[in-house]
């Protein structure tokens, strides 16, 4: 049997994102059986329970989680601590032998990364939610892996169209598979306000009613938001909430007249124009409003960052824009938070702890380069590469195309360290793939635009630059298709990939 091992769907060299090192050993395949266990010490128990929950439905096996010293039965061992220092916080080692599987990392976060790779070594049917009658053979070999960048994000715009907590959780599970570690929630915009602010209740009550095209609105209570944050944390994903300002604020200005210079509420807007709205920069009430929002959001957000927007503030003069951020930026440190914002905030000379997010397709920007020279780390999201809401081609039924058409190869064919002239690798925080939802109404819509492109963004953020190769990637990507099918995901079957 060892001389003629079964042909498996994937080997360790097919993992997405591609590992730093991976060596397949077809003679070392492991078979999970009804007698198998998952071994873990106490600190690794959360990841072990998560792994068991992934594997039990399709196998029908009990897969009890036992102590690490319980060596009586074959299975999967999660080993924590004393791993190679090069692995850092999120890296891992994975070994598959005939007598068992070992995941080894310095932290539970690293073990969670290892689980995502291990999932890809099982037959695709492991992702189904009903019992499947088949052998559960795991591809043999070894993996040594750690991320290129510390920030690997996905953004979901819940302001243009509202997505219920369960829909957000579904997306969290999908992005976690590819070692994404940050979820940026775009909570407010001209068309809707999606988070309860108790000191300003009409933001949700009035601003939460609308959505693009007159579609149903909605908002998260603070309890619902905390539940989403906790769910993301259980997948080792940090939530960064965004309240966009001083532009993109029509929903707030429709809710409270005092936020307008004339004191009157503006009509709600459900179109997709940008750049027309602005908070009233001279009025003191503006800053009470902003601080109340920051205070309440900071209290329910355990992560270190709050995003304060800053893009497309075309109705705010440059002088007013600077005045606004001079007053608002210090508020975040009062509530023990760091600033994240769109790259336009670079002109305000933010503290060096701030992370400007570069979204423009242009490959030069003097203000962003100057901010990086001062010490700010830049998050890379050029719209013509990283925006998941761009159409694949003119026939794509949903999406926009102001930054161009972005096929799967286009989304993969760029390097964050060389994209913006004057920036170098050590000045980059990482990569984020934003999904704006002007045309997106359902989870199936999210999946169609995000997959397969999100997997490419994840690989760009995780894998070494030296591994970046389209032909190799497209072959590995094709093998993700059966996984997505088993998960019931509505992915785009790009003609650039041989999905078989």
SS (H, E, C) the chain: CCCCCCCCCCCHHHCCCCCCEEEECHHHCEEECCCCEEEECHHHHHHHHHHHHHHHHHHCCCCCEECCCCCCCCEEEEEECCCCHHHCCCCEEEEEECCEEEEEECCHHHHHHHHHHHHCCCCHHHHCCCCCCCCEEECCEEEEECCCCCEEEEEEECCCCCCCHHHHHHHHHHHHCCCCCEEEEECEECCEECECCCCCCHHHHCCCCCCHHHCCCCCECHHHHHHHHHHHHHCCCEEEEEEEECCCCHHHHHHCHHHCCCCCCCCCCCCCCCCCCCCCCCCHHHHHHHHHHHHHHHHCCCCCEEEEECCCCCCCCHHHHHHHHHHHHHHHHHCCCEEEEEHHHHHHCCCCCCEEEECCCCCCCHHHHHHHHHCCCEEECCHHHHCCCECCCCCCCCCECCCCCCCHHHHHCCCCCCCCCCCCHHHEEEEEEEECCCCCCCHHHHHHHHCCHHHHHHHHHHCCHHHCCHHHHHHHHHCCHHHHHHCCCCCCCCCCCCCC
Give tens-digit pLDDT for 419-453: 999 999 999 999 999 999 999 999 999 999 999 99
356 and 391, same domain (yes or no) = yes
- CATH of residue 376's domain is 3.20.20.80
pLDDT in tens, 322-331: 999 999 999 9
Q: Is residue 474 part of a domain?
A: yes
pLDDT of residue 9: 87
Domain count, the chain: 2
Question: Is 3 among the domain residues?
Answer: no
Render pLDDT for 32-42 as a digit per residue (tens, 0 to 9): 999 999 999 99
Tens digit of each residue's pLDDT (9 = 90 or more) over 349-398:
999 999 999 999 999 999 999 999 999 999 999 999 999 999 999 999 99
443 and 398 in a common domain: yes
Together in a domain, 136 and 183 = no
Strands 100-105 and 92-97: antiparallel
Could you read off the pLDDT of 34-87 as tens digits, one per residue? 999 999 999 999 999 999 999 999 999 999 999 988 888 999 999 999 999 999
| Residue 4 pLDDT greater than 60, yes or no | no
Q: Please tell me the predicted confidence (pLDDT) of residue 71.
A: 85
Q: Could you tell me if 207 and 122 lie in one domain?
A: no
Mean pLDDT computed over every residue of the chain: 97
Report percent pLDDT > 70 for the chain: 99
Tell me, yes or no, whether 264 and 125 share the same domain: no
User: Is 4 a member of any domain?
Assistant: no
Say how many residues make up the chain.
500
For position 430, what pLDDT does the model report? Answer: 98
In-domain check, residue 221: yes
Q: Which pLDDT score, from 0 to 100, does residue 1 have?
A: 39
Report if residue 6 sits inside a domain.
no
What is the Cα–Cα distance from 399 to 441, expressed in whole angstroms? 11
d(CA 247, CA 245): 5
- Looking at the predicted structure, is the pLDDT value of residue 479 above 50? yes
Instruction: Determine the pLDDT at residue 70.
Output: 85
What is the distance between the alpha carbons of residues 406 and 391, in angstroms, rounded to a whole number? 6
The per-residue pLDDT for range 258-312, each reduced to its tens digit, is: 999 999 999 999 999 999 999 999 999 999 999 999 999 999 999 999 999 999 9
Domain boundary among 145, 175, 208: 145
Same domain for 251 and 160: yes
Burial (CB < 10 A; 0-12, 13-18, 19+), residue 168, is buried
Q: Which of 145, 171, 200 is the last residue of a domain?
A: 145
130 and 268 housed in the same domain:
no
**Final residue belonging to a domain, choices 145, 163, 183:** 145
Q: What is the mean pLDDT of residues 18-43?
A: 97
Whose structure tokens read 């990637």? Answer: 473
Is 312 an active-site residue?
yes
**How many Cα atoms are found within 13 Å in the side-chain-facing hemisphere of 384?**
12
Q: For residue range 161-209, what is the model confidence (pLDDT) as tens digits?
A: 999 999 999 999 999 999 999 999 999 999 999 999 999 999 999 999 9
Query: Is the per-residue pLDDT at 222 higher than 60?
Result: yes
Query: What predicted TM-score, i.e. pTM, was given to this entire model?
Result: 0.98
Give the CATH number of the domain where residue 23 resides.
3.30.379.10
In order of 208, 290, 313, the CA distances from 279 in angstroms are: 18, 10, 10
Task: Name the pLDDT band for 6 (thresholds 50, 70, 90).
Answer: low
Is residue 75 located within the same domain as residue 137? yes
C-alpha distances out from residue 452 to 172, 222, 344, 369, 481, Å? 15, 32, 29, 31, 9
My answer on whether 344 and 377 are in the same domain is yes
User: Domain of 22?
Assistant: 12-145
Catalytic residue among 205, 258, 312, 425: 312
What is residue 7's predicted lDDT score, i.e. its pLDDT?
65
Average pLDDT over residues 480-489: 98
Domain match, 358 and 250 both: yes
- 448/465 same-domain check: yes
Contact 358, 367 (CB under 8 A): no
Mean pLDDT for 15-41 is: 97
Question: Distance (Å, rounded) from C-alpha 443 to C-alpha 462?
Answer: 25
Within a domain: residue 246? yes
Residue 315 lies in a domain: yes
Give which of 220, 448, 248, 226 is closest to 341, Cα–Cα. Answer: 248
Check whether residue 126 and residue 158 sit in a common domain. Answer: no
492 within domain boundaries: no
Q: Check pLDDT > 80 for residue 3.
A: no
**CA gap 236, 218 in Å, rounded:** 27
Of 338, 147, 318, which is closest to residue 240 (Cα–Cα)? 338
User: Span 132-143, mean pLDDT?
Assistant: 97
């Amino acid at each position: 049997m060892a001389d003629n091992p079964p042909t498996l769907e994937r080997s360790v060299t097919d993992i997405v994102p591609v590992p730093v090192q991976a060596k397949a050993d077809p003679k070392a395949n492991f078979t999970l059986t009804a007698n198998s266990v998952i071994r873990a010490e106490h600190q690794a128990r959360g990841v072990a329970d998560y792994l068991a929950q992934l594997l039990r439905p399709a196998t029908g096996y009990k897969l009890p989680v036992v102590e690490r010293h319980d060596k009586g039965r074959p299975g999967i061992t999660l080993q924590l601590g004393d791993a190679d220092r090069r692995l850092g916080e999120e890296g891992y080692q994975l070994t598959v032998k005939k007598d068992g599987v070992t995941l080894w990392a310095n932290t539970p976060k690293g073990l969670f990364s290892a689980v995502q790779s291990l999932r890809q070594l099982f037959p695709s049917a492991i992702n189904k939610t009903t019992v499947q009658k088949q052998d559960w053979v795991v591809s043999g070999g070894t993996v040594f892996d750690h991320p290129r960048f510390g920030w690997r994000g996905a953004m979901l715009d819940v302001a243009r169209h509202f997505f219920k907590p369960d829909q957000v959780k579904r997306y969290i599970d999908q992005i976690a598979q590819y070692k994404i570690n940050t979820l940026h929630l775009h909570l407010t915009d001209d068309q809707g306000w999606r988070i309860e602010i108790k000191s300003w209740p009409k933001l949700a009550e009035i601003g939460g009613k609308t959505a693009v095209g007159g579609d149903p609105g909605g908002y998260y209570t603070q309890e619902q938001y905390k539940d989403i944050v906790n769910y993301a944390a259980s997948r080792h994903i940090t939530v960064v909430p965004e309240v966009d300002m001083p532009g993109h604020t029509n929903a707030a200005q429709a809710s409270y007249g005092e936020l307008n210079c004339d004191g009157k509420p503006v009509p709600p807007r459900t179109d997709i124009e940008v750049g027309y709205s602005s908070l009233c920069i001279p009025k003191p009430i503006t800053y009470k409003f902003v601080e109340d929002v920051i205070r309440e959001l900071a209290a329910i957000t355990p992560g270190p960052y709050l995003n304060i927007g800053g893009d497309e503030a075309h109705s705010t003069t440059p002088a007013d824009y600077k005045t606004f951020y001079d007053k608002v930026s210090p508020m975040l440190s009062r509530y023990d938070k760091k600033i994240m914002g769109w790259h336009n905030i670079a002109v305000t000379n933010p503290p060096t702890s701030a992370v400007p997010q570069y979204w423009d397709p242009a490959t030069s920007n003097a203000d962003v380069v100057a901010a990086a020279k001062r010490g700010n780390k830049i998050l890379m999201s050029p719209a013509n590469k990283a925006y998941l809401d761009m159409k694949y081609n003119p026939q794509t039924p949903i999406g926009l195309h102001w930054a161009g058409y972005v096929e799967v190869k286009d989304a993969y064919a760029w390097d964050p360290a060389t994209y913006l002239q004057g920036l170098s690798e050590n000045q980059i925080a990482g990569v984020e793939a934003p999904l704006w939802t002007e045309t997106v109404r359902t989870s199936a819509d999210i999946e169609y635009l995000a997959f397969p492109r999100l997997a490419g963004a994840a690989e760009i953020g995780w894998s070494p630059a030296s591994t970046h190769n389209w032909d190799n990637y497209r072959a590995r990507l094709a093998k993700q298709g059966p996984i997505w099918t088993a998960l019931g995901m509505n992915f785009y079957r790009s003609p650039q990939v041989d999905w078989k």
